[in-house]
Structure formats: structure tokens, C-alpha cells
């Protein structure tokens, strides 16, 4: 009897140790996963291979602010209140403030997006969830310190779209960009995030290229990946106010490019940003395809898909001159088309800055400093153009 009693005690201790390893707060809401379309529970082969942590994702539901995340393959959900915000904040490895997520906060939208007098600027494109490469480049080139805080002073950081899809650390990248936006403002600098085609794809429910991790994360939260970025989510609201074209000094920034068809139709920077923000982002494909203006903006001559500076039948230099004259600028800076490194085209009139970061092993930034351009390498080197 004593032997059986000892074995029972040891068994119970073992169970308690196993449960303790999960470190689950009793106030957290743990939800078993199911497929939102079929209602079926599942055990993912992907989760069987890896322990996944993802988030946080913040949602506005019935006058409440809720934060959800995946911790060791399980969903955790909390309602944010004044007395628990700091506890929730400490769960994540980056800074965010309660004032940032106030659902009554009214942010104005600048459609014109024209900035001048900028002496120092760094641009990067098509990170595609490769967070480690992103932060290394930002550290090596004096944008952030070792604690990921803004140290670029009055400089401007331009992120030319396509944070989403392919890679496994999209969420962390978005939160870092958001934090740096706030810190840059306080320092007199600025962060510009420009929408790319992959942001539009996800926001418009095209998830063909998302990392498998995010398919599983969404299913664990009983939703779809596009719904994670809905207009009722913090990150979704933030993305829906972002431009597709901006100008800084004598430079025009756009994710893919500006075609001659774009200027022949008489569109301005203000037009493009207003159309995307109000009529394209998050809208149904049916409504987009029925409208000739909207469908043009989303086709291969539009600003988020155009590749006419790089392909075999690329634009003539005279056509580039016409585009620059139309906007009264001297250079166009684009991402979208992957290159081995940042490349100067058309005798210095076009910069292709998608340096293939999506592969996760290399990348570059474009540096503009007092009128001079440099390639910024992954190890912190500078190569003058």
C-alpha cells in the first residue's frame, strides 16, 4: 500500500511539473483551435513540428479593446483595461503604449504626402517578414540602437512596402515600424510606410503568399489572416491610412513604379493615395474590377504592380523624363522588382531598392546624405553611387 501511495504521489508531481511548463496565467483565455470555415478542430502538422508564438494582435470589439496572441501553439486572449495594460505590455519584447491603441483616437490622413528640406534619409523595401535582416540593417546604419529605439534624429526612414508575405516575422516588423513612427516624430524625424502589392493582397483577402505560420496562427484564433488585419484591428486601421506614393525633396517614392499610362490619365499623388485609401484597400475584388479607375490602379500599369523599369520591354529614358517632368521631380525610387543589390538606372533617374531581402540572408538600404547617395550594406558599409 505504501509503495502504491508513493507511486501515486510521484505521478501527481509529474503532472504538476508538466502543467507548470506551460506557464499559463489562470486569467488568460486559452482557446482550442478550429477551422472558422468548417468548424472542425485540427492538429496541424506545422504545429507538430514547431512551437509557435505570434502576436500581439489588438482588436476593437463591442467598446472593448482585446489583445490576442499565440503562445506555444495556443491562443491567449485578454481584455485591455487600465489596471492590466502594463502587465500585458511586459509579455512582449517591444514597446507599445496605451495611448496608441485608444479606439477613439482620430488620426488625420495626409493625401498629398510632399516633404521638403530633408537632409538625411534611408530607404528600404520588400522586407517580407525577414525581421532579423531588417533590424540588422537599421542598427548598422544608425537608425536604431541595440534596444531598437530611434537614434536617427531628424532623418527620414522610408519603407517602400511589402512587409507582408513569405517570411515568418511580419508581426514583429510591423510593430517595430509603428514604434519607430512615434519615436521619430518626437525627435523631429519621420518614418514613412508605403503600401506594397503584398499588403493590398492580404488586406483584400488574397493570402496565397503568406508564411505557413500565419495560416496556422489565424486558425488558432478561429479567424482568417485577412481578418486579423480587418478595419476592427489596430494594425488593420493603421495600414488602411497608409499612402502608395510620396515625394521627398526632388524624389518620388512608390512601391512598384509610375507608368506613362498613369500620367496620361492625369492622376496626381493626392489622387492615387485617396483612391487607394477609400476605394481599394480592404474592398471586394468585384467592386474594384467593375470600376475602370480602380482596376487600372490594381493592374500591371498601376503603382503597386508596375515593372516597366526593369523588364525587357522597359520604358525609354525619354518616357522616364516625361514622368519626372509631370511630377516636377528628378528621381524615382521603387521596390517590388528584386535585384542582387540596390541599383541605379536611367543615368541616375531611377533607383531600384528591392535588394532581395525576402531570401533572408542579405539586404541593403539606400542612404541619402546631404545630396549624396550610397548603398548601405548588411555589415554597415557604404558604397557611393
> Is 90's pLDDT higher than 80?
no
Per the model's pLDDT, the better-predicted residue between 17 and 298 turns out to be 298
The span from the CA of 119 to the CA of 122, in Å, is: 10
Say if residues 346 and 120 touch (Cβ distance below 8 Å). no
pLDDT for the residue numbered 370:
94
CA atoms within 13 A on the CB side of 223: 19
Q: What is the mean pLDDT of residues 359-373?
A: 98
Average pLDDT, integer, range 41-63: 70
Contact (CB, 8 A) for 134 and 172: no
Residue 36: per-residue pLDDT: 32
- List of residues 6+ apart from 16 with CB closer than 8 A: none
For residue 16, pLDDT over 50 is answered with no
Domain ranges for the chain, please list them: 23-101, 114-195+242-384
More confident residue, 22 or 73: 73
* Three-state SS at 60: strand
Give the model's pLDDT for residue 49.
Answer: 56
**Residue 383 scores a pLDDT above 80:** yes
- pLDDT for 7: 45
18: Cα within 13 Å, side-chain hemisphere:
6
Pick from 243, 242, 258, 272: nearest CA to 332 = 258
Say if residue 252's pLDDT is above 50. yes
Q: Quick check: 315 pLDDT over 70? A: yes
Does domain 114-195+242-384 sit in CATH 3.60.21.10? yes
| Residue 8 binned pLDDT confidence (cut-offs 50, 70, 90) | very low
Q: How far apart are the first and last CA of the chain?
A: 84
Q: What are phi and psi of 287, to 5 degrees?
A: -70, -35
Average per-residue pLDDT in the chain? 88
Q: What is the pLDDT of residues 189-244, one digit of tens each?
A: 999 999 999 999 999 999 999 999 999 999 999 999 999 999 999 999 999 999 99
Q: Is the pLDDT score of 366 beyond 90?
A: yes
Q: Tell me what pLDDT residue 182 has.
A: 94
Look at residues 294, 260, 105, 90 and name the one whose alpha carbon lies nearest to residue 182: 105
Question: Tell me, what's the pLDDT at 94?
Answer: 63
Say how far apart CA 342 and CA 385 lie, in whole Å. 10
Residue 106: the pLDDT is: 63
Q: pTM of the prediction?
A: 0.86
CA dist., res. 8 & res. 31, Å (int): 30
**pLDDT at 185 > cutoff 60:** yes
Cα–Cα distance for residue pair 214/154, rounded to 1 Å: 35
Q: What is the DSSP letter of 14?
A: H
Amino acid at each position: 500500500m505504501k509503495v502504491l501511495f508513493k507511486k501515486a504521489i510521484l505521478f501527481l508531481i509529474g503532472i504538476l511539473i508538466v502543467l507548470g511548463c506551460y506557464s499559463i496565467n489562470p486569467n488568460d483565455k486559452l482557446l482550442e483551435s478550429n477551422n472558422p470555415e468548417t468548424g472542425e478542430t485540427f492538429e496541424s502538422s506545422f504545429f507538430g513540428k514547431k512551437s509557435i508564438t505570434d502576436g500581439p494582435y489588438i482588436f476593437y470589439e463591442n467598446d472593448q479593446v482585446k489583445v490576442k496572441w499565440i503562445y506555444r501553439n495556443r491562443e491567449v486572449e485578454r481584455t485591455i483595461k487600465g489596471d492590466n495594460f502594463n502587465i500585458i505590455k511586459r509579455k512582449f519584447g517591444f514597446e507599445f503604449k496605451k495611448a496608441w491603441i485608444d479606439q477613439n483616437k482620430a488620426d488625420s490622413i495626409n493625401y498629398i504626402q510632399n516633404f521638403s528640406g530633408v537632409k538625411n534619409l534611408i530607404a528600404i523595401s520588400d522586407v517580407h517578414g525577414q525581421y532579423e535582416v531588417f533590424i540588422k540593417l537599421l542598427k548598422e546604419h544608425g537608425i536604431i540602437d541595440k534596444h531598437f529605439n530611434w537614434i536617427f534624429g531628424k532623418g527620414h526612414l522610408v519603407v517602400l512596402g511589402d512587409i507582408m508575405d513569405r517570411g515568418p516575422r511580419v508581426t514583429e516588423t510591423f510593430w517595430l515600424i509603428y514604434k519607430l513612427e512615434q519615436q521619430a516624430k518626437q525627435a523631429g524625424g519621420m518614418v514613412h510606410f508605403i503600401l506594397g502589392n503584398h499588403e493590398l493582397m492580404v488586406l483584400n483577402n488574397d493570402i496565397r503568399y503568406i508564411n505557413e505560420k500565419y495560416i496556422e496562427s489565424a486558425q488558432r484564433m478561429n479567424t482568417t489572416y485577412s481578418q486579423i488585419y480587418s478595419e476592427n484591428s489596430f494594425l488593420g486601421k493603421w495600414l488602411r491610412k497608409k499612402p502608395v506614393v510620396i515625394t521627398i525633396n526632388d524624389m518620388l517614392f512608390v512601391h512598384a513604379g509610375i507608368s506613362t499610362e498613369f500620367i496620361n490619365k492625369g492622376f496626381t499623388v493626392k489622387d492615387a493615395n485617396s483612391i487607394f485609401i477609400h476605394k481599394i484597400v480592404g474592398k471586394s475584388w468585384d467592386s474594384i474590377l467593375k470600376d475602370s479607375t480602380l482596376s487600372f490602379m490594381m493592374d500591371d500599369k498601376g503603382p503597386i504592380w508596375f515593372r516597366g523599369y526593369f523588364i525587357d520591354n522597359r520604358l525609354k529614358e525619354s518616357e522616364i523624363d516625361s514622368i519626372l517632368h509631370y511630377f516636377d521631380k528628378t528621381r524615382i525610387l521603387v521596390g517590388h522588382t528584386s535585384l542582387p543589390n540596390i541599383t541605379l538606372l536611367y543615368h541616375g533617374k531611377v533607383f531600384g531598392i528591392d535588394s532581395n531581402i525576402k531570401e533572408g540572408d542579405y539586404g541593403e538600404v539606400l542612404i541619402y546624405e546631404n545630396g549624396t547617395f550610397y548603398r548601405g550594406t548588411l555589415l554597415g558599409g557604404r558604397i557611393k553611387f
